[in-house]
Amino acid sequence: MGPAARPAAPSTTSGAAPPRRRVPAMAAAAALAAVLGIAPAGAAQTGPADTAPYDTPAKTPVAQGYGGAVSSVDPDASAAGIEVLRRGGNAVDAAVATAAALGVTEPYSAGVGGGGYLVYYDARTHKVHTLDGRETAPLSADEKLFLGEDGKPLPFADAVTSGLGVGTPGTPATWEDALDTWGTRSLGQVLKPAEQLARDGFTVDATFRQQTADNQARFKDFPASAELFLPGGKLPVVGSTFTNPDLARTYALLAKKGTGAVYKGELARDIVDTVRKPPVDPKAERTVHPGDLTARDLREYRTKQQAPTRTGYRGLDVYGMAPSSSGGTSVAEGLNILERTDLSELSNRDYLHRYIEASRIAFADRGRWVGDPAAEDVPTKGLTSQRFADSRACLIKPDAVLKSPVKPGDPTRPGKPGSCDTRGHAAPTTYEGENTTHLTTADKWGNVVAYTLTIEQTGGSGITVPDRGFLLNNELTDFSFAPADPAVHDPNLPGPGKRPRSSMSPTIVLDDNKPVLALGSPGGATIITTVLQTMLNHLDRGMPLVDAIAAPRASQRNAAQTELEPGLWNGAERAELEALGHSFKQNPEIGAATGVQRLPGGKWLAAAETQRRGGGSAMVVRPAG
Q: Active-site residues: which are they? A: 436
Q: List C-alpha distances in Å: 181 to 69, 138, 185.
A: 21, 27, 11
Cα dihedral: 419, 423, 425, 428 (round 10): -30
Residues 15, 84, 33, 259, Cα dihedral to 10°: 110
User: Helices 75-86 and 187-200, interaxial angle, to 10°?
Assistant: 140
In whole angstroms, what is the distance from residue 591 CA to residue 528 CA? 9
Residue 303's contacts (CB-CB under 8 Å, 6 or more residues apart) are 131, 132, 133, 170, 173, 174, 177
Maximum CA extent, the chain = 72
Query: How far apart (Å, rounded) are the C-alpha atoms in residues 360 and 445?
Result: 39
Considering only CA atoms, which of 188, 300, 198 is closest in space to residue 253? 188
The alpha carbon of residue 156 and the mean position of all alpha carbons in its chain are separated, in whole angstroms, by: 22
Determine how β-strand 584-586 pairs with β-strand 562-564: parallel
d(CA 204, CA 76): 12
Total Cβ atoms within 10 A of residue 459:
27
Planar angle of CA 411, 413, 416, nearest 5 degrees: 105
Query: Residue 270: which residues within 8 A CB-CB, separation 6 or more?
Result: 465, 466, 467, 468
The separation between the first and the last C-alpha atoms of the chain, rounded to the nearest angstrom, is 24
CA distances from 278 to 163, 214, 461 (A): 7, 21, 10
Helix (H) or strand (E) holding 129: strand 127-133
Q: Is 557 helix (H, G, I), strand (E, B) or coil?
A: coil
Is 80 within 8 Å of 28 (Cβ atoms)?
Answer: yes
CA pair distance 379, 417, nearest whole angstrom: 19
What type of residue is 496? P
